[in-house]
Structure 1
Amino acid sequence: MRNIQKYIVLSLLLGTFAMTYAQQTPAPKQTEPFSIVGATAHIGNGEIIENAIIYIEDGKIKSIKPASGVNEVFQYKVIDAKGKHVYPGFIATNTTLGLIEVGAVRASNDDDEIGAFNPHIRSLIAYNAESKVVESMRPNGVLMAQTRPQGGDISGTSSVVQLDAWNWEDAAYKADDGVFLNWPNSMRRGRWWLGEEPGFKPNKDYQEDIDKVKSFFKNASAFSKAKDATDKNLPFAAMEGVFNGTQRLYIQANAEREILDAIAFAKAMNISKPVLVGGYQAYKVVEKLKAANMPVIVQRVQDLPAMDDHDYDLPYRLPKLLADAGVMVALGYDGEYWQARNLPFYAGQVTQFGMSDEDALKMITSNAAKILGIDKTTGTLEVGKDATLFISEGNALDMRGNKISKAYIQGRDISLETHQTELWKRYSEKYARD
């Protein structure tokens, strides 16, 4: 009997703990219109509206304008944001958000599939909407993300998700937006387990690796044109959107030679929507990128130079170098997950190396939306677009001012509570009592 009582007590305690630290319940659909009044509105396209009035209804921005000189009369709920700032929800690109929970726990990792060519692997169906990592994005203003698989030559298909959902079906904002291709490396680090010397050296199999990629694309292209094919080939069938222009091809490459080869490859394969991912040496070939109409999702800017003889601040300056040359740029990652919460501070880093706040903001809002193909409905504070936005006490690109009081996804008033904020409150109360 005592053992049974112990089990009952233990179960109740575990249940209480689970409820205390469970994922925040997703916000219900907006039912009543409201206005945000008095804030400085950062549109996301380089424009600013001082003392703005933003009217939101049915999850959309119905009106955004400067306040008139006379007192406005409001029929619906008013949120007083005087002295504060309103921003479009930040968009994190090239992440594994929702696919990894704890990097050191293999069972919680679902970002990499066996095999080399896996365009048919969909990251969306593996996305964990109840991830504690996902909920930690929202207090910094990151409200949308592109989640992608990793590994192999073709990792799989990415999708764009909004970060307040019950499940992956609810989270999906743009399903299967593109396919990720990891371009072969022209240089290779010595593999000690094979007795090779340490350090980088030319990859003698580089051309052979490219030929394998070309062979796959040629076969996939032929398959997409063979409408009478009776046999179903999942990898080839998954490439059809890349060839007909309904999906993007994200090509991950960093060295100058690799980028040039990737540009030539995209042209030879008639890829209409190529995107360069990484692009560490993209500043050396900006004219080629512009001619190919190829935007760039740069690697994380808070990083060290790749080589000893590179400028210490090259990662910080790279986005401005590309933007000044006329290349569309978004700030991204190296397929990371929890670091995505620092996205606004990556943009803030760029502002310290010559770029204005509003131009840096574009790289995590409107530019990101354009590159992902979702700019018609989100990415800026404009009439007719989704009311995916937040109110910040100060400059959201500066961690001192990034203090968010309200956030909305498609007009839904979402929770900003996370496991971290719960712990902060818990222990701040403990030391306040002491």
Structure 2
Amino acid sequence: MKKIIYSLLCFFLVGNIIAQQTPADKQTTDYSIEGATAHLGNGQVIENSLIMFSEGKIVFAGNANAKIARRGTVINAKGKHVYPGFIAANSTLGLVEIDAVKASVDEDEIGTNNPHIRSLIAYNAESKIVESMRPNGVLMAQITPRGGTISGTSSIVQLDAWNWEDASIKTDDAIHINWPSSFTRGRWWLGEDPALKPDVKYADKINGIKSYFSTAKNYLASSNLKKHLPYESTKGLFNGTQKLFIHANGQREITDAVTIAKELGINNIVLVHGEEAEEIADLLVKNKVPVILDRPHRNPNSEDDGYDYTYTIAKTLTDKGVLVSLGMEGQMERMNTRNLPFYAGTFAAHGLDKEVALQLLTSNTAKILGIDSFVGTLEVGKDATLFVSEGDALDMRTNILTNAFIQGRKISLETHQTKLWKRYSNKLKSK
């Protein structure tokens, strides 16, 4: 009996050590953050600011010299900076824990056209990787499926939750489609020519996409057909309540994607990746198509691109009037999502105004994802999802968080990584 009791105690002790931090309780204490430089997320900055929030909502955002009573707990943030919580777009956070462990990988489904697949219900709110986002100010994310032609439906979550139901702040916001390339490479392992050449099947692939959505649209217009779940799930695209995120690169591909979507009656479009989008920026502006760029720390795709193409593309598109945000798809994307603010910092270091670069993670992303009515900026009436940093949040040397809140709840900034850092820091000090 004693062995059983000891085993249970050991189990709960170990479980406690390795488990994610317990989500914060609903806000019951008001907070006033005073003296910080407030970066509102919309391009505006308030020196010596006062940010107050109650019951999860911001109730005052202005100058600290205002003659107004401070509410609740006062946080002296003089010399520090306060920001809206950063939002990671086009991410698979919580869908994969360990790439090499197949049972923890749940980012895609078998099949080609899966508009009915919902990433949200696969989201692991207790992921150690998700937890590690918060110390850098990444407090929200769009959880996006991968694979196939039509990957499925994304949802937007906040990163301090018990489960996916608690986490969701916007459910089924968009359907994601991977647009085919007009070029292809031969399969060298089968003896084919690996050189890049036009894909003779490109037109057929495009016709397949048009046919699928046309059939879905006709199905939705009928009332006596047998229930078809995938077609049912496209309803939001045609009535305007859902967006179509088109993952595409290349002038021809982007032009075809936007043109065909409009022909089908799908008007809420977002372009993801967007290589060569700067060449057809007028088309994007005319059709009000925003772009979610890939992170800049990568090589240019084309031999004709400048060496700094991936660093300057955000400024180029912004100057042309395109609404731009920053996504995370790519190699080691879940781990790299914690570096989101520093990718924006790279754009800022290559010509983009610092506050405009900040918008790529705040108000711009919120607008693109359709959540700007309640997050994305430090404004009265919006969620108190924000953080205080000792310095510039876009610089990894100074992005040191002292406080963070999600919907007014004071969240833990402790993670598996911070525990290890403290552990080995103490070891070095002891020598």
Letter in 2 for 1:340: T
Match of 2:102 in 1: 106
Partner Cα separation in structure 1 for residue 98 and residue 181 of structure 2: 28
- In structure 2, which of residues 259, 264, 282 is the aligned counterpart of residue 264 of structure 1? 259
**Deviation (angstroms), 1:17:** 2.5
Letter in 2 for 1:74: R
Partner Cα separation in structure 1 for residue 386 and residue 66 of structure 2: 26
- In structure 2, which of residues 170, 179, 182 is the aligned counterpart of residue 186 of structure 1? 182
**Deviation (angstroms), 1:52:** 0.5
Write out aligned runs for 1:133-172 (5 A): 133-172=129-168
**Is 1:123 the equivalent of 2:119?**
yes
Letter in 2 for 1:96: T
**Deviation (angstroms), 1:377:** 0.4
Partner Cα separation in structure 2 for residue 229 and residue 320 of structure 1: 51
- In structure 2, which of residues 310, 313, 319 is the aligned counterpart of residue 318 of structure 1? 313
Partner Cα separation in structure 2 for residue 223 and residue 217 of structure 1: 10
Contact 2:52 2:71 in 1 (8 A): no
Letter in 2 for 1:292: N
Point out where structure 1 has 5 or more consecutive residues left out of the alignment: none
Letter in 2 for 1:146: Q
Match of 1:334 in 2: 329
Cα distance per residue 1:331-360 (max 9 Å; x no partner): 112263221111100100001111111000
Match of 2:275 in 1: 280
Cα distance per residue 1:222-281 (max 9 Å; x no partner): 11211x234110110000001110000000001111111111112111112000000011
- How many residues in Structure 1 have an aligned counterpart in Structure 2? 429
- In structure 2, which of residues 345, 348, 354 is the aligned counterpart of residue 348 of structure 1? 345
Contact 1:85 1:391 in 2 (8 A): yes
Letter in 2 for 1:176: D
**Deviation (angstroms), 1:123:** 0.2
TM-score by length of 2: 0.97
**Deviation (angstroms), 1:12:** 4.5
**Is 1:23 the equivalent of 2:20?**
yes
Match of 1:250 in 2: 245
Contact 1:110 1:126 in 2 (8 A): yes
**Deviation (angstroms), 1:13:** 4.1
Match of 1:429 in 2: 426
Match of 1:196 in 2: 192
Point out where structure 2 has 5 or more consecutive residues left out of the alignment: none
**Deviation (angstroms), 1:204:** 1.1
Change (3 A) 1:45 1:16: same
Secondary structure of the residue aligned to 1:337 is helix
**Deviation (angstroms), 1:192:** 2.0
Share of identical aligned residues, percent? 56
Partner Cα separation in structure 1 for residue 88 and residue 195 of structure 2: 33
Match of 2:48 in 1: 51
TM-score by length of 1: 0.96
CA RMSD in angstroms, aligned pairs only: 1.6
Secondary structure of the residue aligned to 2:162 is coil
Secondary structure of the residue aligned to 2:154 is strand
**Deviation (angstroms), 1:21:** 1.8
